[in-house]
């Protein structure tokens, strides 16, 4: 196995050396969680989870594996990168955590080992105080969930926004781009957030509204669309002056490229969203729910607010031609009184549904949103409904009273169901049928969730083995797992095991579970807890990079090229990345084997049972054709395919350089015996 070490990088010559040595993996075969709630629709579903099932998520087989300690509250959802390659530390699954103390951590997702930790504070700076508002307290650092682009920078990049202040009391908001493997700042960053917009609203002078960094926090998760990083801003409580901003940065250089203000001639309209990131559709439109704020009930001939103030609305934003503009919107008929009463829509996050088909066969593109007024609103993204002074009749669907506790959270979607956890209420599952949401829940949990409700996440193996994960903001916090098909069936919670075995710390307001590759990660006030199967069989070897050497020929397994579908070959060892293979335990003694250069997996294509089948490297297909067990043999291992029990064989007929490797029935010959080095 390649040697590795654990370190905390803090800059200087050693960091430059590490930067010069690191290489990156071209692709990933396992699940990645790179943005808030898994995707830009914000569905919260991971449908590539093969290890966790309703049968094995029980208190006897599942529980707390380890707890990563950090230096502050983890309000941002932890993000996950699988099979990340480090030059000197090997290849590992990595979890990223950002804290309100302006720190970012990279941990081994399978062992808890720390790879790096960096502070985002400038020289002589400290973390921001809570600005007289208890919503994010006692300090404000990184609140919003970051976003990761595996193709940005030399080794992948994590983008974040951090708040700080200097000794003179001046406040800063900055956009950071960090290298995934070291935490080093990229793109000559960070970039200080500054913005202006035409208007006469709060904090305006001479027809220009100016962004004051002390009056805002970046609460909604970051959004990355077509190379632009979008930030959205909330205030500290409702402490004026403030307006409603969306600011975009080019991810290639951190240059500010787009600015929009949703209440430029009024006030308020913050993007609260319970930490949810704005959603985006495949066409690049952005959808965001705004909080209480100015809305112009006098509209233009096309139905747009005549002064451009969209407070308390669900807004569809165009990103065409390098500009931000309102393409469409919807707000309730009593929007002014709701804003006046602080009964705003933007307390919860919006979610886009996968395409639905109505009873006439028409494709429907829907969005759901809910706030404090207990309604569940369903909008047609192709015709949002705009404003109608007498009723909500222009909206696609209005389910009044469907969420009796009011919403300070965000929904999830899986397999035709929308999951909502309103405050003080049970978690509800609404059925989507013929592009309509059911007026009452199809199933509910038996227990209720106190303030602020719960934001669920879902794991499944495509359409099967669905599990809904939800947390309680209690002390100690509680993680729950429910059967996705029937929420009344609780599979597990962290209070079930004896002797507080699975207690993992105090609850946190913005807890959003992250599920990836057999584990569940949850942020707390001082850590990130990792849950998983308690016994998955003793691995034959530790996860990591290996060279696979034939005992018969002395040659090693080589990827033979970068294309999916190519047969792997024997070759003389050359120390290249094309001869390194990342073994990742998948439980019960099985591994995926992934090339460090191409990211492709060793595969028994089509689960062939035919002797002499070529061993190929393929993109991930998430089935038994890519799972392998290691059977101890003299001085090495026999590598056996789970789907057919054929084993990897260095064919006896030719042992020369470039000979194709095959699959063959087990015969215990030296040509089927491999050393992992």
Per residue in 387-424, pLDDT tens? Answer: 999 999 999 999 999 999 999 999 999 999 999 999 99
- What is the 3-state composition of the chain as percent helix, strand, coil, each rounded to the nearest 5? 5, 40, 55
What pLDDT shows up at residue 111?
87
The structure tokens listed for 28 are: 């990933």
* Angle at alpha carbon of residue 238, lines to 234 and 121, rounded to 5°: 45
The residue written with tokens 């300070």 in the block is 408
Per residue in 506-539, pLDDT tens? Answer: 998 889 999 999 999 999 999 999 999 997 556 6
What pLDDT shows up at residue 27?
35
3-state secondary structure of 463: coil
Low-confidence winner among 192-201, 205-214, 620-629 (lowest mean pLDDT): 620-629
Per residue in 39-63, pLDDT tens? Answer: 999 999 999 998 999 999 999 999 9
Say whether pLDDT at 669 is over 90. Answer: no
The structure tokens listed for 294 are: 């100015």
The structure tokens listed for 298 are: 């006098």
Mean pLDDT of the residues in the chain: 92
Per residue in 65-105, pLDDT tens? Answer: 999 999 999 999 999 999 898 878 888 899 999 999 999 99
* Angle at alpha carbon of residue 241, lines to 237 and 245, rounded to 5°: 80
Q: Which secondary structure element, helix H or strand E, spans residue 286, and what is its range?
A: strand 286-289
Q: Residue 453 to residues 4, 277, 474, 478, 631: CA-CA distances in angstroms?
A: 42, 18, 11, 13, 48
Number of helices and strands in the chain (H, E): 2, 57
Contacts of 524-528 spanning 24+ positions with Cβ under 8 A: 524/73, 524/74, 524/477, 525/73, 525/74, 526/69, 526/70, 526/71, 526/72, 526/73, 527/67, 527/68, 527/69, 527/70, 527/74, 528/67, 528/68, 528/70, 528/74, 528/78, 528/95, 528/97, 528/105, 528/107
The stretch 628-653 carries a mean pLDDT of 87
Nearest to 672 by CA among 644, 642, 643, 630: 630
- Whether this model's pTM surpasses 0.75: yes
The span from the CA of 120 to the CA of 141, in Å, is 9
Per residue in 105-136, pLDDT tens? Answer: 999 998 899 999 999 999 999 999 999 999 99
What pLDDT shows up at residue 28?
35
Query: Please, which pLDDT band fits residue 19 given cuts at 50, 70 and 90?
Result: very low
Ordered by where they begin, the domains of the chain are 13-533 (2.140.10.10), 544-676 (2.80.10.50)
Q: Which secondary structure element, helix H or strand E, spans residue 338, and what is its range?
A: helix 335-340
Contact yes or no for 414/47 (Cβ under 8 A): yes
The span from the CA of 406 to the CA of 424, in Å, is 9
Strands 662-664 and 616-618: unpaired
The span from the CA of 498 to the CA of 483, in Å, is 23
Say whether pLDDT at 368 is over 90. Answer: yes
CA end-to-end distance (rounded Å), the chain:
5
Contact yes or no for 195/247 (Cβ under 8 A): yes
What pLDDT shows up at residue 331?
98
């Amino acid at each position: 196995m390649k040697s590795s070490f654990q370190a905390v990088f803090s800059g200087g010559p050693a960091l430059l050396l590490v930067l010069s040595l690191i290489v990156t993996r071209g692709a990933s075969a396992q699940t990645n969680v790179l943005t808030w709630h898994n995707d830009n629709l914000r569905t919260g579903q991971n449908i590539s989870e093969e290890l966790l099932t309703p049968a094995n998520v029980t208190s006897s087989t599942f529980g707390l594996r380890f707890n990563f300690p950090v230096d502050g509250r983890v309000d941002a959802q932890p993000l996950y990168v699988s099979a990340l390659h480090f030059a000197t530390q090997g290849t590992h699954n990595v979890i990223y955590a950002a804290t309100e103390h302006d720190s970012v951590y990279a941990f081994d997702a399978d062992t808890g080992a720390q790879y790096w930790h960096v502070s985002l504070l400038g020289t002589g700076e400290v973390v921001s105080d809570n600005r007289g508002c208890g919503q994010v307290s006692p300090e404000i650092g990184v609140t919003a969930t970051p976003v990761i682009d595996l193709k940005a920078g030399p080794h992948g990049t994590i983008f974040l926004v951090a708040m700080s202040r200097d000794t003179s009391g001046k406040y800063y908001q900055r956009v950071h781009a960090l290298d995934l493997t070291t935490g080093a700042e990229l793109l000559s960053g960070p970039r200080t957030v500054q913005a202006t917009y035409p208007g006469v609203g709060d904090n305006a002078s001479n027809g220009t509204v100016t962004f004051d960094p002390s009056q805002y926090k970046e609460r909604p998760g970051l959004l990355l669309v077509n190379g632009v990083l979008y930030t959205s801003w909330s205030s500290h409580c409702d402490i004026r002056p403030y307006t409603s901003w969306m600011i975009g940065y080019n991810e290639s250089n951190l240059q500010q490229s787009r600015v929009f203000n949703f209440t430029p001639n009024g006030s308020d309209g913050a993007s609260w969203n319970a930490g949810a990131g704005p959603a985006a559709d495949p066409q690049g439109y952005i959808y965001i729910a705004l909080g209480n704020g100015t809305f112009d009930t006098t509209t233009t001939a096309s139905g747009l607010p005549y002064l451009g103030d969209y407070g308390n609305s669900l807004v569809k934003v165009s990103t065409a031609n390098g500009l931000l503009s309102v393409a469409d919107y919807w707000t309730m008929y009593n929007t002014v009184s709701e804003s006046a009463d602080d009964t705003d829509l933007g307390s919860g996050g919006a979610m886009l549904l996968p395409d639905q088909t109505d009873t006439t066969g028409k494709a429907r593109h829907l969005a759901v949103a809910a706030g404090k007024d207990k309604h569940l609103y369903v909008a047609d993204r192709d015709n949002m409904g705009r404003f109608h002074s007498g009723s909500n009749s222009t909206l696609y669907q209005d389910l009044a009273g469907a969420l009796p506790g009011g919403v300070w959270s965000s929904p999830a979607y899986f397999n035709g169901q929308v999951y909502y956890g309103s405050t003080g209420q049970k978690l509800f599952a609404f059925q989507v049928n013929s592009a309509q949401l059911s007026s009452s829940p199809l199933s509910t949990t038996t227990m209720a969730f106190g303030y602020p409700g719960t934001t669920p996440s879902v794991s499944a193996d495509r359409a099967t083995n669905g599990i809904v994960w939800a947390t309680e903001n209690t002390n100690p916090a509680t993680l729950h797992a429910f059967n996705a098909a029937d929420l009344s069936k609780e599979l597990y919670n962290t209070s079930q095991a004896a002797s507080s075995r699975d207690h993992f710390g105090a609850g946190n307001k913005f807890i959003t579970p992250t599920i990836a590759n057999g584990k569940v990660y949850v942020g707390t006030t001082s850590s990130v807890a990792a849950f998983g199967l308690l016994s998955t069989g003793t691995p034959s070897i530790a996860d990591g990079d290996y060279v696979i050497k034939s005992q018969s020929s002395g040659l090693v397994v080589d990827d033979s090229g970068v294309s999916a579908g190519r047969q792997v070959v024997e070759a003389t060892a050359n120390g290249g990345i094309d001869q390194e293979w990342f073994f990742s335990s998948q439980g019960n003694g099985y591994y995926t084997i992934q090339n460090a250069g191409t990211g492709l997996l060793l595969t028994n294509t089509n689960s062939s049972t035919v002797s002499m089948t070529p061993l190929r490297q393929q993109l991930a297909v998430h089935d038994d054709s890519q799972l392998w067990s290691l059977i101890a043999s003299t001085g090495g291992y026999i590598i056996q395919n789970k789907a057919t029990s054929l084993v990897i064989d260095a064919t006896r007929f030719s042992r020369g350089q470039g000979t194709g490797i095959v699959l063959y029935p087990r015969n215990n010959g030296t040509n089927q015996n491999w050393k992992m080095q």
